[in-house]
Amino acid sequence: MTQPRPVVFACRCVHVWVGDREVVKGVDLVVAPGEIHAIMGPNGSGKSSFANALMGHPAYTLEGQVELNGEDVSGLSPDEKARAGMFLAFQYPVAIPGVSVASFLRAALTAVRGREIPVREFRRELHARMEELEMDPAFAGRHLNDGFSGGEKKRLEILQLLMLRPRFALLDETDSGLDIDALKVVAAGINAAAREDVGMVLVTHYQRLLDHVQPHVVHVLVEGRIVRSGKPELARELEARGYDWLSRENGRA
C-alpha cells in the first residue's frame, strides 16, 4: 500500500488583499519536509505579498486555509506562527540599533523553544552556524542590521534560519543584492536547512540562485495566480524567454 506523502505546509485557495486591492487570487501550495519550491514571476505579480501574508503581516488581509504540520494556523499571529515552526526571511530586513545579533538570536531561540537557552550552549551553536556561513565571530556583537551591507543582512537571515530550525521557511528574495561569493554562501545555508527537513519556499526573480539551490518545483506567479508549475528546467526557460509569453497566455485564459 502506498504511504501518503508527508506534508509540512499546505495552503488552499489563498486570497490576499492590500486595502481593497486583491493581489493574490486563489493560490494552492503543498510542501513536504526538506522540499524546496521556488516562486518566480514579474514585478508586481504578488510574490512578496503572498509570503508576507502567509506569515501574518498586518498590512495584508488573507482569506483561505493555511496549515502547518496538519494544524490550521490561518488565524495565528506572526509570533504564534514562529513558535509553531514558521519562518520568514525578509526582502528588506530592518535595523535595530542597540540590540546585538547575539542578544536577538538568543531571545528568539528562547521564544521559539520555550525555554531559556544556557549561554554556553547558545554560544557553541551560534559559532558553529556562523562558521558554516563563513561569518566572523565578531559579527555576533554588532547591532542588528545596523550599518550592514546587503550581503551581511542576507547572511544574518540565513543564520537565523539555521539557528531557529523551523519546520517551514519562506525566503523572500534572499538573493537580492548579493555578489557571487555571498550568493554561494547563502545558497549553502539554504541547502543545509533543506537537509535538516525544513520545507521551503524561495521567492526569487532570477535563475542565478537556482544554479546553487536545486528546487523540487518551480511555480510562476502572474497577476496573483500560479499560471504554471514545473521542474527546474522551467526556471531556465524563464531566464531565456522572460515572463511576457506566460503573461500573454494568462491573458488569453
For residue 55, give the C-alpha cell.
506569515
State the DSSP H helix or E strand holding residue 134, giving kind and residue range, or none if neither: none
Tell me the pLDDT band of 55, cut-offs 50, 70 and 90: very high
Question: In angstroms, rounded to a whole number, what is the distance separating the alpha carbons of residues 229 and 6?
Answer: 20
Give me the amino acid identity at 8.
V
Is residue 241 very low, low, confident or very high in pLDDT (cuts 50, 70, 90)?
A: confident
Task: Please provide the average confidence, as pLDDT, over all residues in the chain.
Answer: 91
Residues 31, 11: Cα–Cα separation, whole Å: 9
**12-23 per-position pLDDT tens digit:** 999 999 999 999
Mean pLDDT of 154-164: 93
Helices 150-164 + 101-113 axis angle, to 10? 30
Give, as one character, the DSSP assignment of residue 45: S
Model confidence band, residue 247 (pLDDT cutoffs 50, 70, 90):
low
Question: Region 199-208: what's the mean pLDDT?
Answer: 90
Q: Please report, as a single letter, which amino acid is at residue 223.
A: E
Looking at residues 85-103, what average pLDDT do you find?
Answer: 90
Rg, the chain, Cα only: 18
Domains of the chain: 9-252 (3.40.50.300)
**Cβ contact 248:223 at 8 Å:** no
Q: Does residue 2 register a pLDDT over 60?
A: no
